[in-house]
Amino acid sequence: MKGQLKFYLMLFLACMIWGLTPICGRVLKDCMSPMLITGARFYLVALILFTSIYLIEGKKGLYLSRHDFLVLLLMGFVGIFLHNSLLFEALRMTPASNAALIESIGPSITSTLAFIIIGERLSKFGWLGIFISCFGAGYIVCKGSLDTLLHFQVNLGEIIVVVCEAMWSFYVVISWKLSKNVNALAVTAWTGLFGAIFCTLAGLIFNELHVYAITKTYIEAFLVLSLLTGVVAFVLWNFAITKVGASKGGTFVYLIPVFGAVFGVVLLGEEFTLQEFIGALIVVIGMIISVKAKLSVRSNTKSVSEIKKHLIEKQALKLNSEK
């Protein structure tokens, strides 16, 4: 636990920065279309990170195997392009409060996919922590009102949000699995570039690339969205998630609406209610329980050297039996 404290702090900081995303989104909604915001944001992210990689590692830092290239292409398509574009589409069909409530199931989906794809097993206490944090996030969204939860209705928008959460969970799990081959900077750079390209293509096809106005405030909000929530937060997240595991790391996502509420108070003068404070406290308690829980990963695969050794031993036994 103590040895991994710095990685948990990275996840904490990443989610705190991501709490600025809805603030920037509210500012930029009158500046450009969502598809253009997402595409331009990740083009800038990719440019900065590819430059950094080249300066630090040279050309070898940009090399990818065919397998890693295809995996990162899929991650950019699913985690950056589809996740963001479908979420914007879902918000046209359902209230933001409903979307936020559904997003609370994200860490549960992450833990389930982590078990299916990489065999990561979270203990009962880990699942208890996820449940408590989920309850806290729901309490924040519903503002402590049971009536809001009881009158929740499912439509196409809500279904799309569930799909979006599954896509983000897939991104988290695959980034963990890919970490042995590609470092966090490269993962963020390549997925950002691929996601931006897909946004551009979709924007051109559906005529969704529009600039409405440009002011100093809009430029500042875009730079915060790109440099902080795009570069810093994604790099911190992609690096730390490889050290603590997808299930435990995914629990930190519950902090994003908490920080979003805090930044709303500080930057936009919004009200921070008692219900939001109670919900935030519940989220943190659940997160602490989940972080302290035991985590194990099944290993069904042998290394190349182990397989080679096994084949040699098997061949030797065969030769001895023939003699």
- Looking at residue 232, what is its pLDDT? 95
Beta carbons within 8 Å of 119's beta carbon, 6+ residues apart: 297, 298, 299, 300
Which residues lie closer than 8 Å to 286 by C-beta, 6 or more apart? 128, 129, 130, 131, 132, 133, 134, 135, 136, 251, 254
Q: Is 70 exposed, middle or buried (0-12, 13-18, 19+ CB in 10 A)?
A: exposed
Angle at which helices 21-28 and 255-268 pack, to 10 degrees? 50
| Contact (Cβ atoms closer than 8 angstroms) between residue 232 and residue 21 | no
Least confident of 60-69, 80-89, 118-127: 118-127
Model confidence at 119: pLDDT above 70:
yes
Residues in the chain: 323
DSSP symbols for 36-67: HHHHHHHHHHHHHHHHHHHHHHGGGGG---HH
pLDDT at 96: 61
- DSSP class of 85: H
What is the total count of domains within the chain? Answer: 1
Query: Mean pLDDT over residues 88-116, rounded?
Result: 71
**pLDDT of 308 higher than 60:** no
Q: Give the structural domain span for 118.
A: 5-322
Residue 259 confidence (pLDDT): 85
Q: How far is CA 21 from the centre of its chain?
A: 13
**264-278 average pLDDT score:** 80
The mean of the pLDDT values for the chain is 80
| pTM reported for the whole predicted model | 0.76
Is residue 196 a contact partner of residue 209, using CB atoms and an 8 Å limit?
Answer: no
Q: Per DSSP, what are the bridge partners of residue 120?
A: 297
Q: What is the pLDDT of residues 126-185, one digit of tens each?
A: 888 888 877 877 777 676 776 766 666 667 877 888 888 889 888 888 887 776 678 889
Q: Backbone dihedral region of 49: left (phi > 0), alpha (psi from -120 to 50 degrees) or beta?
A: alpha
Contact indicator for 35, 209 with CB cutoff of 8 Å: yes
Compute the chain's Rg from CA coordinates: 22
Instruction: Tell me if 14 sits within 8 A of 240, measured CB to CB.
Output: yes
Structure token pair of residue 141: 């969204």
**pLDDT over 70 for what percent of the chain?**
82
Closest CA to 129 of 311, 286, 277: 286
Mean pLDDT of 274-298: 76
Lowest mean pLDDT segment, chosen from 84-93, 95-104, 115-124: 95-104
pLDDT score recorded for residue 178: 78
pLDDT digit string, tens, across residues 8-46? 999 999 999 998 887 887 788 889 888 899 999 999 999
Helices (H), 143-215: 146-150, 156-178, 184-205
What is residue 312's predicted lDDT score, i.e. its pLDDT? 40
Q: In Å, how far are 20, 105, 109, 112, 223 from 132, measured between CA atoms? A: 24, 11, 15, 17, 35
